[in-house]
Structures are given as structure tokens and as C-alpha cells.
Amino acid sequence: MRIGELSRATGASTRALRYYEEQGLIRSERLPNGYRDYGPEAVGVVEFVQDLLAAGLSSRVLRDVVPCVGGGHESTACSELLTMVQQVRDDLLDQERRIRARRQALEQYLTGRRSPRGSTGLTGVPGTSA
């Protein structure tokens, strides 16, 4: 299928598809007229790439992950990639905890339940609810 067809099938822009190809995430063959020709598996690969990019993985990490999904690669390398993806997930969980704690502290300051150290409290700031 040509790039426009792949774009319509996946919702990815042709620009994004060219980027994915440049990054080694998808492959195409060149037809004699210069057009890109993608195999039927490209739809699933593009959808997979879009999902993991939306989840916060970089194209650098995906370049290593995508071959593991198709199989036929060394299981040790793929296991290491799985560990890397789990680390990204764990880092996100840690960031969420820190953001939640910061939001709760601000909420306490704004509602008057807590004052910043060294101050007598925030005055003139209306309370909010999260």
C-alpha cells in the first residue's frame, strides 16, 4: 500500500510515517516510480508505534522494541528491552507520586490548612478544590 493509504488506515500523517521510516520503525520498498510501498503488516506496526509513543516511549527506545514484537530476535536483547520499558513505567509512577504530593501541599496552603515555613500564611488567596 502507498503512504496515503497507510495514513488513512492508521490516522497517522504522511509526515509522521516518513519520520517513523527515517527512525527505522517501519519499512517500505520503493516502486520503480519512486513511491513508497508498505506491506500489510505496516498498519499494525504503525498502530503499535503510535500507542507506545503516546505512552511516553521515545522513538530511540521504540527502534529497539519494534523488532522484538515481530519475533525472530534474540530473547535476551528483548528481555533487556522489556526491563527498560518497565523502568520507564516505574519512573512515571515516581513522577506521579511527586506531582500528587506537590499538588496536595499547594492545596493545603491555598485552603489555609498549612502555611509555608517562615510565613504567617497566604492572605487574599481564595480557596480552591481539586
Model pLDDT for residues 90-109, shown as the tens digit of each residue: 999 999 999 999 999 999 98
Residue 58, pLDDT above cutoff 90: no
Q: How confident is the model at residue 73 (pLDDT cuts 50, 70, 90)?
A: low
Rg (CA), the chain: 23
Spatial separation of the C-alpha atoms in residues 89 and 71, rounded to whole Å: 23
3 state SS of 71: coil
The residue ranking higher by pLDDT, 55 or 4, is 4
Query: Structure pTM?
Result: 0.65
- Return the bridge partners of 36, or none: 30
Residue 128: per-residue pLDDT: 44
The residue ranking higher by pLDDT, 27 or 75, is 27
Spatial separation of the C-alpha atoms in residues 79 and 36, rounded to whole Å: 33
End-to-end CA distance of the chain: 48
